[in-house]
Amino acid sequence: MSRRSIFLSFLPLSLLVFRQTSDPNAAHIKEWTERNAQYSAPKITETDSSLEITTNDPRPLDNVLDALVHQHGWRINYEDPLYGKSDILDNTAPSWLKDHPNGPRAHAVKGGAFYAKIPIDGYLPDDPRQILPALVKAYNRSGNPGRFELRPINGDAFDIVPTPTAEDPQKPILDTVMSFDTKDSDSADSNLKAFCDALSRENGQAVEFWRPYATGTSYFPAEARITVHVQNQPARAVLRKMLRQVTSTMSWRLLYDTDLRKFRLMFR
């Protein structure tokens, strides 16, 4: 066989390999599309004897808690752990990659499908004290990122707090002991920002007060004021005192930004 015929015989294979590897992001785009297509809002089905919960979300537990808060009016404060590399995945959108194939990537928590079937007492189907402990226990067994514990505050208020693990021995950010004094003349927003700044200095981990609204708007009325002067108390106790002065219904979420590597304090 001539050298020319040998070359031609390998040409179709080389073209196939080229076509398969011409887009280095093809595998990521396929994975991203399939994963995001599976994400779904929580579905909560109640019978006389059980509560069935299904969802698919980067943060399944927070996703379900948000649904329960809006459904029942419970006050549930949620706090992310400081997620490590094994808990994070590349979640860069294909639309971004199309125009920026070598640009910076976006990341998300590596959550996913979650299912729980919780036995309930038919006489007290909406009692958070029988639903939340079982929900947290089911989540901790699910294999999704993070492990959590439930800390009851009163009949309808609870903290969902990350627990240290062998991989992440750090204690929850809001367990940090701190001192803090508000400026009585400042707005609620200004004092909450000052609280986050003080917590960042005390803990060493960046925490910011985040408002997911247009500039100039707030969670609270413009006239709302907060007065707190505390010494050596856990940050969550300080925050609870602050929040009680401006609302009786809202709860907080402390979420970890996996790209900026900082926590964001927000309310729902």
Average pLDDT in the 59-81 region?
96
Average pLDDT in the 153-180 region?
88
Using a cut of 0.85, tell me whether the model's pTM lies above it: yes
pLDDT at 15: 47
What does the pLDDT look like over 193-234, one tens digit per residue? 999 999 999 999 999 999 866 556 789 988 999 999 999 999
What are the residue boundaries of the structural domains of the chain, listed by start?
18-170, 171-268
DSSP 8-state secondary structure symbol assigned to residue 199: H
Buried b (16+ CB within 10 A) or exposed e, 193-226: bbbbebbbebbeebbbbbbeeeeeeebbeeeebb
Average pLDDT value over all residues in the chain: 89
Average pLDDT in the 97-111 region?
93
Cβ–Cβ < 8 Å for 191, 246: no
Average pLDDT in the 157-181 region?
90
